[in-house]
Amino acid sequence: MNDEHQEPHVFRLLQGEALNIHHSPTGHVGRVFCGEGLEAVWVAKQQEVIDSAWFSQPTVDLLIILQGQLRVEFEQAHQASVVLESGDLLVLPPHTRCRAYRWPRDRQEATIFLAINPVRDDRATTMSKTRGEPSQV
């Protein structure tokens, strides 16, 4: 990646701006950066279904709550569930199996968080070349 040709780019995360957005029943994911060995995405959960499967990553995952509350349950019985609020940062070690959803469940406002994690160099290089105009949720 050639840093000389890159321009600063502002994304309005709470307004749903992203390079691309993936929609699913468990929430919406907007990619805002992928390169230099990192990926950053925002996740919005509003009236989503709770995924019955456990999520885990092979690398550390940082979750920063931007709006609302997020309940995180862990597969391991000795790990207590946590409720995160705006401004909280959760550091998930590699291979930590968990699931996360908007809290409380009857809340109308979306829960939005930023997830940042390392990616393999080949994946980051390929994805960083995919540029586009910001999309809106």
Residue range 8-44, pLDDT digits in tens: 999 999 999 999 999 999 999 999 999 999 999 999 9
Show the domain range for 62: 13-128
CA distance 63 to 52: 20
Cis check: omega of the bond before 104, within 30 degrees of 0: yes
Residue 69 belongs to a domain:
yes
Q: Provide the pLDDT confidence category of residue 122 given band limits of 50, 70 and 90.
A: low
Number of structural domains, the chain? 1
Place of tokens 């995180």: 72
Residue 137 belongs to a domain:
no
- Give, for 123, the enclosing helix (H) or strand (E): helix 121-128
Per-residue pLDDT, averaged over 34-59, amounts to: 96
Residue 67 belongs to a domain:
yes
Paired strand residues for 83: 71
Q: Closest Cα partner for 104 from 47, 43, 44, 28?
A: 47
Residue 90 belongs to a domain:
yes
Read off the CATH number of the domain in which 71 is found: 2.60.120.10
Residue 66 belongs to a domain:
yes
Residue 92 belongs to a domain:
yes
The residues near 74 (Cβ < 8 Å, ≥ 6 apart) are 80, 81, 96, 97, 98
CA distance 68 to 45: 10
Joined together, the tokens standing for residue 8 give 């600063």
Residue 43 belongs to a domain:
yes
Give pTM, 2 decimals. 0.84
Find out whether 31 and 39 touch, Cβ atoms under 8 Å.
yes
